[in-house]
Chain A
């Protein structure tokens, strides 16, 4: 009983203290949004069933930075279900539209 309680305590501490694990792909550190777009989607059955593509919704039709995030909760769900349920979070920043310099005369 004690070992279960200790394990629960360690687990709770881990969840409380751990943050997101992040990997970034950066084309340019610029963006036209002040709040990044983000979606969490679940992949099922080792990828046999995967979410439809997510529309980026960028005015410029281009993305400057993508972050893939996971956390201990997602990892545990993935591990416990042996990959049957794999949540993933993706965050992205839209590039600004290309606006060329003009000359006023």
Chain B
């Protein structure tokens, strides 16, 4: 096959995701690498503009190739998703070598943006830039230095992979990663690519739009649909993101009782009952608080008992200064091995099939209690930049990780339901609640104005899948609104549930997808996950 410069064959017949919980078989010869740093490509396309525009054409070539050969393709970032949202049975396209990035000068920006924003607070980045590399660029190379405004709990994802599955973090006053996106360049077909911005916040100038050679769409609704589209709206070639002056996050981790005072913080962000715990006087703490998260070991939990309470983890946002003690990664001692969770899974799955199984209730709490301290071996106090704080994941090897989002007001009831569920089906893992400001994305996972994400991380064993299925049944029986993370274990999602969760927003999303992608292009980007969720069918085009 004669491939254009910048596209290389990716000789794989299967793909295992980063957390090792599934392997997707692939068609031989159907997967590709895209690159801007191959020596031949660099010689042929020496300038930024040449490289960038040729890569747009390469994306288009891949879509045409897929249409001609009746293949399905999905763009792949770091492969962190635990669901099969980012794969299909034919081919995948590695985007991790697409690392062009640029700052924009005033001539590239709209009058509206220049009147209200700072050009130095923008970063134009190709999809394959990892969160690690963006943090390094912003914090160490930019002058003046900058910070990402939000981050997931760790930093291995690519920028587009992370934001388009609604990676959220716990910036409860700011929101998820998608909130810092101001523009997106999406290659939607073999002869179409679009630059999308919100009409309510135009950012780029005609000069930039001519440079990128894309059809320009200024539309809030289309922007919000494309924002959380998990690779279904085509290849997101690049994004324009807004950053801010470099800042520090001062962490505080302490074990406290789950009591009425904590419940007020959970349901109203009222920290007054926890004033004695906070590092600062209440008024100052309220001003500085940036990150709010709680970790729970469901097998060692009791309300109003500080010894069996929750790990209260907050971060205060501070202006950057040089004189602080850097967080050093742990290089001494031991942690659990990459295969430990996989081995526990094998044992649990064997135990599961025994008639009259009573062992889960014995094995799981003991295993979780042992591993909890290893996994949450974090300092009580630490200070660092976003890049220094949110590093490589603490979890190793084959993993189950599911996440549901709720309105924070529902959390006391949800916690009771989760703990009740845990008594019937012990969850082989630990839980965390992360508080996030909601987003306006059409299919946003963090769609509640004040979202609380319940994360459940543990062993990839059948018992945990059973746990989440039962949990959803009970939540629905109690009529509690919830959403399910697109990029995590979400076996509970199906067409009916997606419709029940998102209602008419599903039609909106499908309509916008249909507006941007031809039927043949939609077929290229369809996968089993979209079919399972009822998101593969062409929707009615919504004229805006």
**Per-residue 0/1 for B123-143: is the Cβ within 8 Å of any A Cβ (1 yes, 0 no)?**
110001010110001000110
The reply to whether B78 and A19 form a contact with Cβ atoms under 8 Å apart is no
> Which residues of A lie under 8 Å from residue B133 when comparing CB positions?
30, 96
Residues of A within 8 A of B340 (CB): 19
A101/B337 in contact, CB under 8 A: no
Answer yes or no: B208 CB below 8 A from chain A CBs.
yes
Chain A hits for B137, CB < 8 A = 101
Q: A11 within 8 Å of B by Cβ? A: no
Interface pair B124/A104, CB less than 8 Å apart:
yes
Q: How far is the CB of A1 from chain B (nearest CB, A)?
A: 27
For chain B residues 74-124, which have a beta carbon within 8 Å of chain A? 76, 78-79, 92, 94, 96-97, 99-108, 123-124
User: What count of chain A residues pass the 8 Å CB interface test?
Assistant: 25
Interface class of chain B by DSSP: mixed
Verify B343–A34 contact, CB threshold 8 A.
no
Is B497 on the interface with A (CB-CB < 8 A)?
no
Query: Considering the chains assembled together, what is the distance between the CA atoms of A17 and B130 in angstroms?
Result: 35
From B12, B105, B156, B211, A29 is in contact (CB under 8 Å) with: B156
Q: Using a Cβ cutoff of 8 Å, how many contacts connect chains A and B? A: 97
- Number of interface residues, chain B, beta carbon within 8 A: 49
Question: Do A96 and B96 touch (CB < 8 A)?
Answer: yes
B102 touches A103 (CB 8 A): yes
Min Cβ gap B151→A in Å is 14
Q: Please give, as numbers and ranges, the residues of chain A lying within 8 Å of B141 by CB-CB distance.
A: 101
B346 at the interface (CB under 8 A from A): yes
- Tell me the complex Cα distance, A34–B94, Å: 7
Closest chain A CB from B1 CB (angstroms): 20
The stretch of B30-38, B216-224, B251-259 that contacts the partner chain? B30-38
Which of A16, A31, A59, A102 is close to B37, meaning CB atoms less than 8 Å apart? A59
Within 8 Å of chain A (Cβ to Cβ): is B15? yes
**Complex Cα–Cα for A35 and B391 (A):** 21
Could you write out 23 A-B pairs with CB less than 8 Å apart?
A18-B343, A19-B339, A19-B340, A19-B342, A20-B339, A21-B337, A32-B97, A34-B94, A35-B16, A59-B35, A59-B37, A59-B38, A59-B97, A96-B96, A97-B97, A99-B36, A102-B101, A103-B102, A104-B48, A104-B105, A104-B208, A105-B104, A105-B106
Q: Which residues of B contact A (CB under 8 A)?
A: 10, 12, 15-16, 35-38, 48, 76, 78-79, 92, 94, 96-97, 99-108, 123-124, 128, 130, 132-133, 137, 141-142, 155-156, 208, 211, 337-340, 342-343, 346-347, 391-392
**Interface contacts beyond A19-B338, A104-B105, A104-B108: sample of 15 additional A-B pairs, CB < 8 Å, sorted by A:** A19-B337, A19-B339, A19-B342, A32-B99, A34-B15, A60-B37, A96-B128, A99-B99, A101-B101, A101-B123, A102-B101, A102-B102, A103-B105, A104-B104, A105-B104
A interface residue numbers (CB < 8 A to B):
16-22, 28-35, 59-60, 96-97, 99, 101-105
